[in-house]
Structure 1
């Protein structure tokens, strides 16, 4: 009889849950919104999204939480000891899980998606970003996006800021202006500002993240402003990955560098090349699975299973504006 696994990936744009058999068959799935307790409208709202996605997956599979052999939650914003304690307690209580679930930072789930032995460094770049490193002794170090704005949000918000500066005569011309006017249906930069900041506008962070693909496109096409933005954001992520490698004693010899998240699937090589230049010891690994696969694999590890995750493969050309 198959043992059942629950894997949940909680990001800033979406939270995805799947129930799979120990062989890898997807039995049910669920999807909700932001599952980051630091970035949603409070921890309670984030937990509701996580629980909603998990409950939908269980219902779709026609099973109860008591039927699960293991459950793992790979979550953006799971950064501090109190975060983990809160999330473990709330998720076990609200989902009526038979055992306390494993909760990890989403960069740890990312590392597992590309490393069977969980050794190496992972860089996850979606709406925001996170990095994690783990060595052969099991020593783990991870960082959320706290030090600097990163990910699709940083790319998009800095791209939009360059448009405001140009509009005011404070910055150079950039092809990002035309891309933004087209994207948001505005006639000029001032109307664009109104579209994005009026009182009935969608939340600014999500709008900025939606513009990340345009910044990457224009950078690849040679726009100097866009290239500077991409190089800055990529350099930050490379620096933080190097910190993780250093904190876990992996600098100086080759180690797996797992690169995942929707931004890193953009066709332009610029961001990846700048990031890699900061960590020459890193040997890039690009998992071709959905982010939730890391949580599934961690759950499988808990019971010694080796599921086939063919059904969780993801297209490599996904757009960064939809990333977690």
Structure 2
């Protein structure tokens, strides 16, 4: 039986872990070179990020926007770029939150240096916004609707019963207390900002001037958007508002994955830390029934050099053995 083609998934805020990918960095020269390359684009901040990352330092800043976002972008890009360097040609790319910027960069929409400039500018505008966070809830959008407000909203739909509420701290805490009292299962995501809520709209729009000046190219690989589920067209990709508003718009990863797997079965490979998207993908009916697969290129938790390289090479072998991308007949 022919294996389905590869698709790369890129996680976003909440996937970060102290020491993520450090084992692979120490064991894999190709990945190390790509990680050094992207960290250097962050200039002086990249030097500090590398030192803290390699030391696997844990502290209040670990989940802050100035640490988590640059490291997630850099690590995801380096993992994805190393996969492409190995000759794997994915049928599609799909990212979650900052992972969509990574996917767009690997698809050629942004030059890596421009993407880092866009991310640095975004982070500068988001840093200092009102404290808040994100709350993962084992429920559907309709079930959590009674707990939402003008500021506390559904910030992500990751699956049929996997949503994330987002908003300022006081409102989110109130929603959490009410949901727990009503028997809903929920847990805080690793975020200190109310990502994907309207609270960030004003700060997000401040990114427009830089985005309007950055060259944007047509996707050279099929790029699925989790903001407007489906393949991203060049017409949409070259709209600066599409990228500027992403921190304030809901992520529809689950619907995007539904559309992708309706077009084709796939070996879904998470190119980033934590295997959170891998776990979500394994709940999808087409994966659960065996038509598609979901694997991680990094282990669920950081490990030593041998363990991380073994996980990466096993996943890479699965991707390298996949055929030329194809689509199922309608």
Q: Which structure shows the bigger proportion of residues in strand conformation?
A: 1
For this structure pair, what is the TM-score category when the shorter chain's length is used for normalisation? 0.3 to 0.5
Q: Which has the higher contact order (CA 8 A, sep 6+)?
A: 2
Mark the structure with the bigger radius of gyration.
1
TM-score (norm 1): 0.33
